[in-house]
Chain A
Amino acid sequence: MTLLSVRHVRKSFGAHVVLEDLTMSVEAGQCVVLIGPSGSGKSTILRCLNLLEQVDDGQIVLSGDDITDPRVNADAVRARIGMVFQAYNLFPHMSVLDNVTLAPRRVHGIPAAQAREKAMAMLERVGLADKARARPDDLSGGQQQRVAIARALVNGPELMLLDEVTSALDPELVGEVLDLLVELKSEGMTMVLNTHEMGFAREVADTVCFLHDGRVHESGAPAQVLGDPVQPRTREFLRRVHG
């Protein structure tokens, strides 16, 4: 079943066209990894999928709903999609627990006690229940990113968008976040993510899309795209990434 379908999406910022004509689809339970040079639109498409950016043209369909229709309630759509950012973007003025209970309480109207229970279960799951009372600033980068993942998951999203979630982390902390994502994937979560970790892409992806010039330049199974790319552009990019 196709959960997400992106059709001919175009997005520009002023004269700068970031997404030219991007088409891709994601099956339920699948993990799609976007790779490509910086500026190729990997982050922009994720922001468009979450309606943080308005597309110039094209269509995004989530579980049969055209979410680019201006008549849909964007807030309700965002509540169905979890997003995790490169810089964690935790709310620094709230405890870890309050970060996670914010959406259940204020978006879904769940009573405080029940929201706490849900949030604690989620923090337990990412291994940070003992940090519930801490402030985000007191945590390591890897811990902050795990809290951000818990905050996104507690909404029970249909789809998770992960925007370079390990790029800001010290190398020794990358593993704890990637392990969590592998676990999520094994539980059947549908994910779209972009990353520079090619090893991780190979491990977790069902499909790898190479973005170039605002389009999906090449896509397929990770072994094919990363191991034996057809397009010269893809080959060149991978050569550069691997040094």
Chain B
Amino acid sequence: MTTGTDTPDPDGRGGSVLRAGSRLAGPQGWAPSALERERAAYRKRRSVRSLTVSALSTAVVAAVLVVLVTSAPGWPAVRHAYFSWDKAVASFPAVLDGLWLNIRIMAVCGVIIAVLGLLIAVGRTLRGPVAFPVRVLCTGYVDLFRGLPLLLVLLLLGYGMPALRLTGVPNSPLFWGGMALVLSYSAYVAEVFRAGIESVHPSQRAAARSLGLTYGKTLRHVVLPQAVRRVVPPLMNDLVSLQKDSGLVSILGVVDAIRAAQIETAIDFNYTPYVVAGLLFICLTIPMARLTDWVARRQGFQGAGGHL
């Protein structure tokens, strides 16, 4: 059996014969030829077969996993400690309350990160010797905060800054937790924006400059609008990531969903609240992920025209 037969070949001989035939019959009166009916039947048989195979293998793997986990010697204890329905119900309000803080952190930091990231990206792509210090500064910033683990930034800022006891410097762990997220994420986001800026073809700049637009106006009206549009899907991916990393501020004692779950577990050493928090985070990120997919698909469709 050849594998090529199940891929439709619009330029193949069968296709052109079919199209010629359909044109003769007119757009209304088209009925598939015996050849096309045979091919359609073949494609259907193939897809039914592959669907069956994949469904069966998924079921088998799932069954094996369930048997493996539930037959483990420690399963009854684990089930009680991690999947207690009563504990889940009891801890749910506190964890949900904590999640509301995560959402607020995500929203506020997300906006600041986007603005800061864009500024750094523009700084890194500025041209000419005059902008050299700006480029060095922005590159250094990105190198530093992309290299430092987020957890380390959180600990250093969260405990270090309040310890300085500087007047006017806030000592709220929430503030420094958010600051650490902003510093780390804006370095990543800046690189995403930079990739977008550099993906705009030089001919676009040439066209804008030839009209008399200055460097800055070219950037603002021609380069950035195209760059930002192109990087929306990867940026949303970073936003999904920020959504869950907002949970890391719990390490500073901020009562977010994770910290709330931790407090709940401390009552009776039942870890179900962690599972509850995990499920809530998933519920939060899934719509975002689907939205990202949708935006990416839409862009891919538009981009298929090609304009460079």
**Residue positions of A touching B, CB distance < 8 A:** 47, 50, 52, 75-76, 78-83, 85, 87, 89-93, 102-103, 106-107, 136-137, 148, 151-152, 155
Q: In the complex, are the beta carbons of A83 and B213 less than 8 A apart?
A: no
Q: How far is the CA of A47 from the CA of B209 in the complex (A)?
A: 11
Stretch in contact with the other chain, from B80-88, B220-228, B266-274: B220-228
- B110-154 with Cβ < 8 A to chain A: none
B199 in contact (CB, < 8 A): no
**CB contact under 8 A between A151 and B211, given known A92-B226, A93-B226, A106-B217:** yes
Q: In the complex, are the beta carbons of A102 and B307 less than 8 A apart?
A: no
Q: In the complex, are the beta carbons of B211 and A89 less than 8 A apart?
A: no
Q: In the complex, are the beta carbons of B226 and A85 less than 8 A apart?
A: no
Complex contacts, B225 vs chain A, CB 8 Å: 93
Q: In the complex, are the beta carbons of A89 and B212 less than 8 A apart?
A: no
B16 in contact (CB, < 8 A): no
Q: In the complex, are the beta carbons of A79 and B211 less than 8 A apart?
A: yes
Complex contacts, A106 vs chain B, CB 8 Å: 213, 217, 221
Complex contacts, B209 vs chain A, CB 8 Å: 52, 75, 78
Q: How far is the CA of A151 from the CA of B211 in the complex (A)?
A: 8
How many B residues face the partner with a CB closer than 8 A? 20
User: Which of B206, B210, B307 is A137 in contact with, Cβ under 8 Å?
Assistant: B307
Complex contacts, A137 vs chain B, CB 8 Å: 305, 307
B70 in contact (CB, < 8 A): no
**CB contact under 8 A between A93 and B229, given known A78-B211, A79-B212:** yes
**Residue positions of B touching A, CB distance < 8 A:** 203-204, 206-214, 217, 221-222, 225-226, 229, 305, 307-308
Complex contacts, B229 vs chain A, CB 8 Å: 93
**Most chain-A Cβ atoms within 10 A of its Cβ — which of B203, B207, B208, B229?**
B207
Complex contacts, A136 vs chain B, CB 8 Å: 307
Q: In the complex, are the beta carbons of A85 and B214 less than 8 A apart?
A: no
Complex contacts, B208 vs chain A, CB 8 Å: 91, 102
Complex contacts, A107 vs chain B, CB 8 Å: 211-213, 217
Complex contacts, A81 vs chain B, CB 8 Å: 210
Q: In the complex, are the beta carbons of B305 and A89 less than 8 A apart?
A: no
Q: In the complex, are the beta carbons of B307 and A92 less than 8 A apart?
A: yes
Q: In the complex, are the beta carbons of B206 and A52 less than 8 A apart?
A: yes
Q: How far is the CA of A34 from the CA of B221 in the complex (A)?
A: 33
Complex contacts, A76 vs chain B, CB 8 Å: 212
Report B22 CB to chain A, min CB distance, Å.
27
Q: In the complex, are the beta carbons of B210 and A102 less than 8 A apart?
A: no
Q: How far is the CA of A79 from the CA of B208 in the complex (A)?
A: 10
Complex contacts, B217 vs chain A, CB 8 Å: 106-107
Q: How far is the CA of A191 from the CA of B207 in the complex (A)?
A: 18
Report A63 CB to chain B, min CB distance, Å.
16
Complex contacts, B214 vs chain A, CB 8 Å: 75
In this complex, what residue of B is CB-closest to A138? B305
In this complex, what residue of A is CB-closest to B206? A52
In this complex, what residue of B is CB-closest to A151? B211
User: Which of A78, A90, A91 is B210 in contact with, Cβ under 8 Å?
Assistant: A78
**Most chain-B Cβ atoms within 10 A of its Cβ — which of A87, A106, A155?**
A106
**CB contact under 8 A between A103 and B206, given known A92-B307, A136-B307:** no
Q: In the complex, are the beta carbons of B212 and A103 less than 8 A apart?
A: yes
Please give 18 more A-B residue pairs, beta carbons under 8 A apart, in addition to A78-B210, A136-B307.
A52-B210, A76-B212, A79-B211, A83-B207, A83-B210, A87-B203, A89-B203, A89-B207, A91-B208, A91-B222, A91-B226, A92-B307, A102-B221, A106-B221, A107-B211, A107-B217, A137-B307, A155-B212
